[in-house]
Amino acid sequence: MILNPVWLNTFKTLFENRHFTRTAEILHMTQPGVSQHINKLEQACGYQLIKRQKKSFDVTLSGELLYKYILTAQQQESHLLENLGANEKTSGKCALSCSGSLATLLYAGFIELQTQYENLVIHLEAAPNNRILEQISQGQTDLGIVTEKPDPLLFSSEVIGREELVLVFPSSKTVDVDNLASEVMELGLIRHPDIDHYLRLYLAHCDEAVLSNLDVRKIKTKGYVNQIHQILLPISQGLGFTVLPRSTVDNFESAERLKILDIDNVVAETLYLVKKHNRDMPARFDMIKTQIKKSLN
């Protein structure tokens, strides 16, 4: 018996979101429709997949096994399609994961490629390093760009560029380098998902004595936002400071309202292009790699 692929997709979405209403919204269905798909799938399998508890549910062992089966089947299908079109240089799907700032930088170049080659499909997702490596391992993405060299036994990687990090202030604030530590403490920090990593890296390598000894734990939080396009908005209006890649600052629509701290030593992260170890990539990925290097440079 072949399990209905529509029901399987509904179950996979429910498993990953753990919420009936959210699953219905993602799949453009009604909540009763989601429940109906799960009930039919349970009947077809002959096993209970979720254990319902009033407004919530737990996934059963059978549900866990089914989810793993779905991921394996999708990965096998993806590899089959790649092998069938391995020599296609300008068509097929290319899935790439990277940070939000890099996604913003790379996206325009990918759109340019897709306008040239109508059968080329590029799937770009923003994610943190650990999630990117997880996606590559599970076959959910083809390539990833991370800032730490991954385990060579699991992944193949190459240096593809560097990303400069900058300390950003409101342009309305007068920045006195001699009193920089106290000014930073007074302004407060606009936090975002990568700020702890960026800030510690910047302070460790900026070669500015007045900042190197700064205790980041004592810097007050002025705000938090996890949308890359919104992080600089409060700073442009005089609220707080942050650390971000220079490309994000340069592409901000009100960049004239921002001020980058001018230091002699450039602080930058090495960028690694990563794929699953020993995986042969279709020919079209040579074009994708070339475009990435062009955008980064």
Cα separation, 132 vs 99, in Å, equals 9
Residue type, 33: G
Same domain, 34 and 174: no
Q: Residue 32: which domain range?
A: 5-81
Q: Give, as one character, the DSSP assignment of residue 63.
A: H
Q: Does residue 257 share a domain with residue 169?
A: yes
Residues 97 and 175 in one domain: no
Q: What is the pLDDT of residue 127?
A: 86
Q: Are residues 47 and 75 in the same domain?
A: yes
Cα separation, 273 vs 221, in Å, equals 33
Question: Does residue 157 share a domain with residue 252?
Answer: no
> Of the candidates 48, 81, 114, which is a domain's last residue?
81
What is the CATH classification number for the domain harbouring 21? 1.10.10.10
Q: Structural domain tally of the chain?
A: 3
Beta strand 155-170 with 221-224 is unpaired
Contact 90, 284 (CB under 8 A): yes
In this structure, the answer to whether residues 185 and 240 fall within a common structural domain is yes
For position 197, what pLDDT does the model report?
87
Pairing relationship of beta strands 56-59 and 50-53 according to DSSP bridges: antiparallel
Are 145 and 158 contained in the same domain?
Answer: yes
Give the domain-ending residue among 55, 81, 107.
Answer: 81
Looking at residue 67, what is its pLDDT? 94
pLDDT of residue 179: 78
Structure token digits, residue 80: 């089959």
Whether the per-residue pLDDT at 78 is higher than 80: the answer is no
Report the amino acid identity of residue 166: V
Q: Write down which residue in 81, 109, 124 finishes a domain.
A: 81
pLDDT at 1 over 70: no
pTM summary value: 0.66
pLDDT at 101 over 90: no
Q: What is the pLDDT of residue 86?
A: 58
**pLDDT tens digit string along 231-280?**
999 999 999 999 999 989 988 889 899 999 888 888 999 999 999 998 88
Asked if residues 259 and 168 have their Cβ atoms less than 8 Å apart, the reply is yes
CA 97/CA 125 separation, integer angstroms? 5
Give the percent of the chain with pLDDT over 70: 97
Residue 274 and residue 139 share a domain: yes
The backbone torsions φ and ψ at residue 57, rounded to the nearest 5 degrees and listed phi first, read -160, 160
**19: helix, strand or coil:** coil
Position 85 pLDDT exceeds 80 = no
Considering only the C-alpha atoms of the chain, give the largest distance between any 2 of them, rounded to a whole number of Å: 74
CATH number at residue 149: 3.40.190.10
Torsion of CA 272, 277, 278, 279, to 10 degrees: -80
Is residue 195 within 8 Å of 231, Cβ to Cβ?
no
Say whether pLDDT at 42 is over 90: yes
Give yes or no: residues 64 and 102 share one domain. no
Q: Which contiguous run of DSSP H or E holds residue 20?
A: helix 20-27
Across 179-202, average pLDDT: 87
In this structure, the answer to whether residues 42 and 74 fall within a common structural domain is: yes
User: Are 11 and 37 contacting, i.e. CB atoms less than 8 angstroms apart?
Assistant: yes
171 neighbors 139 (Cβ within 8 angstroms): no
Residues 140 and 183 occupy one common structural domain: no
Task: Tell me, yes or no, whether 167 and 26 share the same domain.
Answer: no
Here the tokens at position 247 are 């490309």
